[in-house]
Chains A and B, each alone.
Chain A
Amino acid sequence: MPDYVSDDTQVVQAILNGNINSFEILMDRYQDYVSRIVRNHVPQNDAPEVAHDVFVQAYQSLGGFKESGKFKHWLSKIAVRCCHDFWRNHYYRKNNLVSPLPEECRDWIGQLLADQSPGSDADRVEARDLLQWALGQLSAQERTVLTLIHLDEYTVAEAADLLGWGVIRTKVKSHRARKKLRKVLGKCLP
């Protein structure tokens, strides 16, 4: 029976000592947290698979977890890297083909600019589709850093830490990604 009082380090130690079932404690604690990160980065349909990969990778890498660090932060780094890997593989598979902008999204932009968009659920779906379509024109790196900083409101330093990049590189990539996104969106305006 998992012991919920133990802190993360003790749980990790128990798993490393052969008590694999203790991993359930970590899943209970961080399943929602990981789901939120993954949901913000990858499409809803693919999110469960990526979340699955996050926990499997975390288990495989448990030996490298430093006792001095926070498990939650360590896990979030793995989650962000899994999302980044998802997009890298996705772009590799689809060979960077860009689909045309769906007609519903074009209509949504027209309505929004004419101040006729009441913010209904349908609008939200079309807005999300448009965002995904526009993000699809960016590289995996640009997409990940832009999502972290401009959409999820992480600071540049936090994003740099999660991605394992330098702060300057993160700042430059984020700036370029946003500029590129605006350029893509600018072409969709009527």
Chain B
Amino acid sequence: MKASGNRLDKVEEALIAAHRRQEDLQLPPEWRQRVLEDIKAQPQPEAVPQEKESKAVVLNKFGWAAAAFSFAVLAAVCLILVTLDRKDPWVALKLEKGTSASLANFRLEAGDNESGLRNLTVTIIQKEIKIEVLAKDLAPHGMLCFPTGDVVKKVNIPLALNTHKLGLHAGEVTIIIVARDLSWNNGFAGNETTLKKTIYIAHNENP
């Protein structure tokens, strides 16, 4: 096999050498005249207008730029989809000591370990009464993609509900807590967690 390869190399080398040792081409005496006659029979060449060429070059460059831009956008979208925070924030409401019939003390804890919290609202509903007792905007300053402040990952807020001041009566009360994070999920609206808790006011005394 190797011997066959060596023999092939030898033949190949000889052929290349023969190719390179070719004599100069001798053009026939009438050749030049014939070329000139044929050229004179051709229509006069015209310079391609610079403007047309420029347009073609610009179009070509624009095409490449558009392709590069599309690729960059596609790559960015893929990156965002891969790294997108799809986890909902967490919320916990604990009853604290010192709670009486007219004053309910809670501790509200919420957080989001990935993108951080955007806002937090607490609403109380009793029959036709609907009161928003807390609305906290936790989003950092600046644009959503370029925040200038710190992202809030966790909050711990004491929540004291004076049933008398809020105009609540004895009976069932629903507390609705909504937390939303800074994720771009759900069309940039973020992930949302809703916690509903029902408490019972035994007797609403005046303070």
Contact = CB atoms under 8 A, between A and B. Distances in A.
A63 B57 CA distance: 17
Contacts of A128: 18-19, 22
Q: Which secondary structure characterizes the binding site on chain A?
A: helix
A31 interface: yes
A59 B11 contact: no
B45 A59 contact: yes
A51 B35 CA distance: 9
Interface string B3-19: 01001101110111111
Interface of B: 4, 7-8, 10-12, 14-22, 24-25, 27-28, 31-32, 34-36, 38-40, 42, 44-48
B38 A52 contact: yes
Contact of B39 (A38, A44, A56, A150): A56
A168 interface: no
A61 B43 CA distance: 11
16 contacts: A15-B45, A20-B39, A27-B36, A35-B24, A39-B22, A48-B28, A55-B39, A56-B42, A59-B39, A63-B45, A109-B11, A112-B11, A113-B10, A128-B22, A188-B11, A189-B11
A176 interface: no
Given A20-B40, A113-B11, A60 B45 contact: yes
Nearest to A64: B48
